[in-house]
Amino acid sequence: MPFGDILGQTTAKRILQNSLRNDTLGHAYLFSGPAGSGQMKTALTLAQAIFCTTLKDDACGECLECRKVEHGNHPDLKILSPEGNSIKIDQIRDLQRVFSYRAEGGNPKVYIIDEAGKMTVQAANSLLKFLEEPPVPAVAVLIADNNQSLLPTIQSRTQRIPFSPLPPEMMLQELSNEGVSAPLARCAASLTSGLEGCRELLAQNWFAEIRNLVLQLAKESLGKNGSAVATAGQKLFKTGLGEHLDTCFSMFHLWFKDMLYFLYRKHESIVFIDQLDFISNHAGTRTASQWVTYMDYAAESKKKLRSNVNAQLCLEQFLIRLES
């Protein structure tokens, strides 16, 4: 895949292509930015461009070397990702063993460490010297949502390449081209920072169900008759959707923000666009400060979940606060 096929990330692509063009490629890069904003795709394109036999500063996608990367069987490319919850020292040692042999072609070898912030301390320390002085010419790409999750000594040995969240309109256009319905696409794009993240979320069977349930609960909570609490227990936890409660609260946050968007005449920013009639009829039933308070309730509930508060209790308390 050529760099031009990667959505957004103009700065990252310019830095990498200039380095390829001017033969100033670094020995180690840190692709830092929100998950799903194209880091892995860019890393693979960089690997293709390094190995490509047709182009100097890009990947043609057609030569044998490019196709080997695309099919996941290039002998000079190694990709590491967490085993379980972490990247372990044995994985780094295996990487060092593989990279003790020279590359098959005349180019440097490439290794990509996905979710590099999940390296154990032992793994990170084992990587340090190898990162700076590999036994054979090599280019490293470390991918991390937050560069601060890496040891300072690793950060100092890499060139940081910043990745930014993709503009929602760019993701929506791409998803529309793929046949995704606008209501689901707008919701997914508002909950993720990249196209791959959107696709992963949309591929989950529960995503559309959670969205429908949030709409039902949100509408019932405006009635102040207690029905939302009863519905929550019946629909959410008896159908196995309770494990996605974090996403549920995020959607509530979007719903209340939509009410504010309507009050402030920012209709183009409304996420639940298919609910515009309902929103237009109910946005004025609360003040802007009340909608902001409801957004705060949703954010507080997400924090409680992370503190291991009982999930059903957390949701019921949230809905009771909305109905009070």
Query: Which carries the bigger pLDDT value, residue 105 or residue 261?
Result: 261
| Residues 165-173, mean pLDDT to the nearest whole number | 83
Structure confidence at residue 277 (pLDDT):
95
Task: Characterise 130 by phi-psi region: left (phi > 0), alpha (psi -120 to 50), beta (else).
Answer: alpha
**Confidence band for 47, pLDDT divided at 50, 70 and 90:** very high
Q: What is the pLDDT of residues 57-116, one digit of tens each?
A: 999 989 999 999 999 989 999 999 998 889 999 999 988 888 877 766 678 889 999 999
Are 3-162 and 204-323 in the same CATH fold?
A: no
pLDDT at 176 over 80: yes
Say which residues have a Cβ less than 8 Å from residue 230's Cβ, sequence separation at least 6. Answer: none
| Residues 219-241, mean pLDDT to the nearest whole number | 68
Say which residues have a Cβ less than 8 Å from residue 93's Cβ, sequence separation at least 6. Answer: 126
User: What is the spatial distance between Cα 18 and Cα 14, in angstroms, rounded to a whole number?
Assistant: 6
pLDDT at 197 over 70: yes
CATH of domain 3-162: 3.40.50.300
Q: Which of 52, 125, 53 is nearest to 92 (CA)?
A: 125
Task: Name the average pLDDT for the chain.
Answer: 88
Residue with tokens 């979710």: 115
| Residues 300-304, mean pLDDT to the nearest whole number | 92
Ordered by start, the domain boundaries in the chain are 3-162, 204-323
Query: Which carries the bigger pLDDT value, residue 195 or residue 11?
Result: 11
CATH of domain 204-323: 1.20.272
Q: Which of 122, 112, 118 is nearest to 85 (CA)?
A: 118
Structure confidence at residue 225 (pLDDT):
59
Q: Is the pTM of this model over 0.85?
A: no
Q: What is the pLDDT of residues 15-27, one digit of tens each?
A: 999 999 999 998 8
